Structure 1
Amino acid sequence: MPKRSRELKPVEVKQKPDGMHAAGGVTGLYLRVSGDARNWILRVVIGDRRRDMGLGGWPDVPLAEARERAREARRKIQDGIDPIAERQAKRAALVSVPTFRWCAEQTIAAKRPEWKNAKHASQWTNTLTTYAYPRLASVPVDQIEVGHVQQVLAPIWTTKTETASRVRMRIEAVLDWATASGYRKGDNPARWKGNLQPLMPAPGKVRGVKHHAALPVDDMHGFMVALRDRDGMAARALEFAILTAARSGEVRGAQWSEIDLDAATWTVPGERMKAGKDHRVPLSDRAVALLQALPRMAGTDLVFPAPRGGQLSDMSLLAVMKRMKVPAVPHGFRSTFRDWASERTAYPHEMAEMALAHAIDSKTEKAYRRGDMLAKRARMMQDWSNFIDTPPATGNVVSLNRSKSA
């Protein structure tokens, strides 16, 4: 037989320290103490899930009443009734206007199909939970005003400006959903232009945009010479990323099944692309040679697997650059490629943008770029590779640490 908890006495309720304390008398009844707060919790199994059901706080709910509420809840469960769902339904019937938190949850559910991965939903939930819910969670959505939004944003507006901007936009989206659903009327108090704009400093002026550190175009030859002198899969992945002007994540996730060495193309599937569309990458002679020289690890289709299997981490390529003491980051090579295309070639702007798989804003440009210019881009990527392999005309080769490292 399970051990029965000693029954708590009324006089002991006020004496208990922080923590969970079995109340006894009813299976699963606990007193939860946190500072001055003392609340009754009933731990039960409803269906196949263990649930914690709040029964009220002491002293408003004394020990005897807590035990009676616990017995009643257990009777309902035995009769096939979920007492938690029943209570929620009764509360909802009393409240005609939902809370901000409920609306936020509905907004996330409504937008989930348009997001490319589950990270977006977790990012929304995490930022709203951390910054918005402490002040807005229980506020009826039709009562939220500009002052409420300012209270959320003010503490982080100048210290976490980028995060604060995202929080503002997410609050705005939740309130837009509430308005469209008929739960509130009037202007959106989280709107920036003509609303919060006169009351708060512009995000761009609070903290300037931080661009990815990039290597100057003329330093590319010296850097690549030093990079090719280094061993390790991360160094090869970084070299391939430079030759293809691809993002680190696209390269680290590259699979042999995506690569056609005979046609010298790499087709990145849409689920791994920022724009959500398949992206064909023409491979230069040097890129093909790099792939042909790579060893293939048994049990994986990854082109650049980690030494112990699986995908290289997002820090592995950066670690190579740090060991080389280069004041740049892997993503910065995309900017270097863009500078080379603009300043050293006659290739059109739209071709370089397509090579970088950037989203297209102009409707005219979208219509013009229905194809992917693969043949022309192949010439451009070969020229990029040739440029990297050619020492600068001045002979001014950048000096880099060339000690070998994995």
Structure 2
Amino acid sequence: MSKALNRLTALEVKRISDPGMYHDGGGLYLQIGSSGSKSWILRYTQLKKTRDFGLGSMRDWTLAEARERAVKVRQMIGEGLDPIAEKQQRMAQLVAERKESERSAKTFAQCAAEYHESNKSHWKNAKHADQWINTLTTYVFPAFGSKPVSLVDREMIREALLPIWKSKAETATRVLQRIRTTINYAAARGYCEGLDSQQWSQLKISLPKNSKELEHKHHSSCPHSKVGALVKKVDEGTSSQIVKAVFSFIILTACRSGEARNAEWGDIDFDHRIWTIPKERMKASRPHSVPLSGAAWQILEALKATSGYVVKPKELIFPNAKGLPLSDMTLTQVLRRMDLDYTMHGFRSSFRTWGAEVAHYDHDMLEFALAHVVGDGTVRAYQRSDMVEKRRILMEDWASYVAVEA
């Protein structure tokens, strides 16, 4: 570069203080702002448009360094590149890389806390909301809470659960579900790839069986092999036909007691044999569809016959003598009269254990059949007509198992 281009000297650059633009040559300017700040600008023309490209503050770049930077930018312009567009592209790439780095660095504990914070208001029971995060804090965070969620694998999960899998079987089962919810949430947010259904199934297989510990610890759950005989015994007992009907219906649909006791005829799709429970009556505050097995459908048909096939949408399916919902105690008394320590809610566990250990159904399908909250994508999948039919097969298999064991 000829000397004519280097119009400024290092000493002049230090001494000049009046606001303005001072040309060094070749489009390189020293720009002094009204506040006295000094920076380097390269002014150039490209496609008949004059533009200014910032080369940085004089605090960071000397005159000699600014000239070197100006040479590189002029070379870019000579090659037909737009230095401003190139800089913006680099900045956008750096921002994207930083965001990606932040996403991949999200720890399991951060993801769990984030999910809990955004969803705790939807839990009807504040105590349950606290237990959700507290169990993870106690049993999981010490093991891999500080690990990036993208690095959490099924072996880490197994190692965390092993110490409590048998000694605290019920808690361990819930912790596993909460780990899965957290990882599904993290995958949905782009923090990790997540684990597929096969890996979750393999994890369950790798853990020792704890069904006996669950049954021993909680007498409220009837062993699935005894459910059929119990249904038969109730059916042959002295309870009213309505009580016998709702007792069997709850077991065959694996629903919560209150969902059946408050069921209305308007909930039933007679054309497709589906019972849709409105969100107002659901624990998770979202509607839930139950494909009805042949045995469950026969219960409804028998009740319709006793009413002369005249039913009203808002009429209860299983009313007491006064036309009001049956109380949960009515069903509990049926069990107590037989000297059994089970609860109606425990039959959901009977169904869940049978589905996993005997029928080997997919985890998500069983969870959705119980109206447990699983990933939103799974919810949508199992609400599609084809998945409804697959769940109908599940309920038919359960009904057949109960009938055979009777």
TM-score, normalised on structure 2?
0.44
Structure (1/2) with the larger helix percentage: 2
Q: Based on CA coordinates, which of the two structures has the bigger radius of gyration?
A: 2
TM-score, normalised on structure 1?
0.44
